Amino acid sequence: MAALPRTVLISGCSSGIGLELAVQLAHDPQKRYQVVATMRDLRKKEALETAAGEALGQTLTVAQLDVCSDESVAQCLSCIQGGEVDVLVNNAGVGLLGPLEGLSLAAMQNVFDTNFFGAVRLVKAVLPGMKRRRQGHIVVVSSVMGLQGVMFNDVYAASKFALEGFFESLAIQLLQFNIFISLVEPGPVITEFEGKLLAQVSAAEFPGTDPDTLHYFRDSYLPASRELFRSVGQSPQDVAQAIVKVIDSARPPLRRQTNARYTPLTILKNVDPSGHLYVRTTHSLLFRWPRLLNFGLRCLACSCLPGRVRPR
């Protein structure tokens, strides 16, 4: 007798990684998944529905979900048959970039409300059912910025660090209930959202920021960031494929980085746990040896290097 398809609830599916993941799971040849692809604004569902094709209404349904609203989460779950979620993918997120002095506390709180508390809200909603059934899988789209700080990404990185600590702590308890947690950690991902964000901050004023810091942001960080995306950026399709493999895994990993080309940039922190080597080296590359940094990034982009980490 064939096993019943697993219900997969994914947040943030209007574009990017969430859209690609929803479509890939819905098009599974063995039809092992019933995908509930959600987004805050259903006016943005056209791209997802077009990509889903014949899977729409069969193995994929689109639903409204605002991870910042208890009522929206409850309404979404009430529309799922039995209200049972086998796999939860916390993908919804927002970015924030720029000099700290020019960012409002309200903007910072919005990042945490979505990236951290939004994920916690969804987990709290599905966890009782998973515990009762003694099975489940919670996948969290984190970031390499949950492992290392990146200049001018202070608040975004902090939200990802919070996710890493929260879900690693929770994973210990949930293993007793046969519930697995997987933190997926992409590096740079080339999306329309990222392109718009970089364009916006390039022209932003950031009131209250001193001229030196603005100079470092615009003339040091932004060019290096663009080169990083160009050299080692992944497509949403590649990241989605890595997440599918995590979901398919008989023994889901706690952590999975998706981009092998980014690994050299994370090694420094592992080599020196004090953090001194990472901070000093990154500072020198950005402010003293930018040409060496650009050369190194171009080397990482060499086609002889693997594009992504493959499951063992």
CB 91 within 8 Å of CB 17: yes
| Binding-site entries for NADP(+) | 12-40, 66, 160
CA proximity to 108, closest of 90, 94, 88: 94
The residues assigned a catalytic role are 156
CA proximity to 152, closest of 206, 73, 113: 206
State pTM to two decimals. 0.91
Q: Which two tokens stand for residue 134?
A: 């003694």
CA distance 119 to 90: 6
More confident: 231 or 140: 140
CB 72 within 8 Å of CB 64: yes
CB 108 within 8 Å of CB 151: no
Please say if the pLDDT value at position 209 is more than 60.
yes
More confident: 169 or 193: 169
Q: How far out from the chain centre does Cα 62 lie?
A: 20
CA distance 225 to 151: 10
**CA atoms within 13 Å, Cβ hemisphere of 23:** 23
98-123 pLDDT per residue, tens: 999 999 999 999 999 999 999 999 99
Q: What is the CA radius of gyration of the chain?
A: 20
pLDDT band at 191 (very low <50, low <70, confident <90, very high): confident
Q: Taking the CB of residue 175, how many other CB atoms lie within 10 A of it?
A: 12
| Binding-site entries for substrate | 143
* CATH number for the domain formed by residue range(s) 6-210+233-261: 3.40.50.720
Q: Taking the CB of residue 211, how many other CB atoms lie within 10 A of it?
A: 7
DSSP code at position 116: T
